[in-house]
Amino acid sequence: MLTKQKRFRYLLLFLCLPILAFIFPSWTPRIRDESRALLPNSVSTLEQIELGGIKQSVLIRGNDQRNPILLFLHGGPGYSQIAYARQYQRDLEKDFIVVNWDQRGSGKSYHWNLTHGDLHIGNLVEDTLELTKYLEHKFNQSKIFIVGHSWGSMLATWTVQQYPEHFYAYIGIGQVADAPFGEHLSYQFALDEAIKRNNAEAIKELESIGPPPYKHYSKVTRLEQKWITDFGGAERNSHTQKELIKGIFLAPEYTWTDGIRMAFGSRLSKNAILPQIQYSNFFKTVPTLSIPVYLCMGRYDYITPSEDAYNYYEKLDAPEKLFIWFEESAHFPHFEEMEKFHTLMITIKEQTLGASH
């Protein structure tokens, strides 16, 4: 039987744990070999650096600091990866310095005083360039590899278009090209599936918003994407939403306060950025890129439909380009088929830099 003093201690611990979860500093584990010894030339840092005058969080991990840099630009907007991406990227860490960045206004990089004006696309492009230069200087490298996922594919495309001299190659995942056409395909998929499945609730909600273009874009697309997700057009073999929530509560890289910031940041980012990209069309504005381009698309992706990406790939003028189908994936092929993505990245690295790296 517990004494009164022990009961008091347990009660105090129970009350203190939530407080510690909010205030305990975030960190990332060191990288170790199979015998649990620290890898001597590895890097594992969770940093807060200033980009565009705003403090932003960057997770940097890799087994060897001599490896090339692989920068991921997350989607959303506002769907930051730091809380959960590490579990999907352990193999990549063996061959690259893997960098995940919570973009301004997202996750750990959300600040209460940010406005819609702070999230102008031009600011985010310049942040990406500034971060790239920071990484080049930090690891004494002249260029990096850049990966853009979903909304991040747009940010990466604009950055590569303006500053190609900083990048070996661009890897697009869930590539957006003609945003209005892609939105049309997304809506039609959701409605067709609702009818096929005789889902009365989905039919009613989708018919109530009607096909795009949408007046209240960010609000309506959330409803549309809910049904796309339910019908398998977002994920097939991964569960990023669950992993994100678990990461906010359990991952050392995130505190519970960061989780709150992420919720507010996601709302701000969507409301500020989606209206800016609603009518984007890379067929017209980015017909040419001057570095190698690799597009990775899930066969079942209807968040950013693969048909749109493939049409863009066929028209795009680039010194080298490759379209890779991920047959078991939807919108997250780099997470749903990790081994295939890792193998692809090794091939790209060797073709670009040589087998010695």
Average of per-residue pLDDT across 59-70: 98
Average of per-residue pLDDT across 79-99: 94
pLDDT of residue 4: 52
pLDDT-wise least confident of 141-145, 173-177, 259-263, 292-296: 259-263
pLDDT of residue 220: 74
Angle separating helix axes 217-230 and 256-277, nearest 10 degrees: 110
3-state secondary structure of 26: coil
Average of per-residue pLDDT across 82-107: 96
Q: Is the pLDDT of residue 57 over 60?
A: yes
Q: Spell out the residues 6+ positions from residue 6 whose beta carbon is closer than 8 angstroms to its own.
A: none
Question: What token pair was written down for 19?
Answer: 């407080």
pLDDT of residue 5: 56
Q: Spell out the residues 6+ positions from residue 318 whose beta carbon is closer than 8 angstroms to its own.
A: 288, 289, 290, 291, 292, 293
Q: What residue type is 102 in one-letter code?
A: D
Residue 118 catalytic? no
Q: Which of 149, 331, 334, 342 is catalytic?
A: 331
322 touches 350 (CB < 8 A):
no
- The percentage of the chain sitting over the pLDDT mark of 70, rounded to a whole number, equals 92
Average of per-residue pLDDT across 49-55: 97
pTM: 0.92
- DSSP string across 205-265: HHHHH-SSP-SSHHHHHHHHHHHHHHTTSS-SS--HHHHHHHHHHH-TT--HHHHHHHHHH
Predicted confidence band of residue 8 (pLDDT cuts 50, 70, 90):
very low
Q: Which of 149, 301, 308, 329 is catalytic?
A: 301
pLDDT of residue 238: 72
Distance in angstroms (rounded) separating the CA atoms of residues 168 and 160: 10
Q: Which of 80, 109, 150, 280 is catalytic?
A: 150
CB 113: neighbour CB atoms within 10 A?
A: 6
- The percentage of the chain sitting over the pLDDT mark of 90, rounded to a whole number, equals 80
Average of per-residue pLDDT across 314-324: 98
pLDDT in tens, 241-290: 778 778 777 889 999 899 999 999 999 999 999 999 999 999 999 999 99
Distance in angstroms (rounded) separating the CA atoms of residues 234 and 270: 18
pLDDT of residue 65: 97
Q: Spell out the residues 6+ positions from residue 104 whose beta carbon is closer than 8 angstroms to its own.
A: 51, 52, 54, 56, 114, 118, 119, 123, 124, 127
pLDDT of residue 244: 72
Residue 42 catalytic? no
Residue 91 catalytic? no
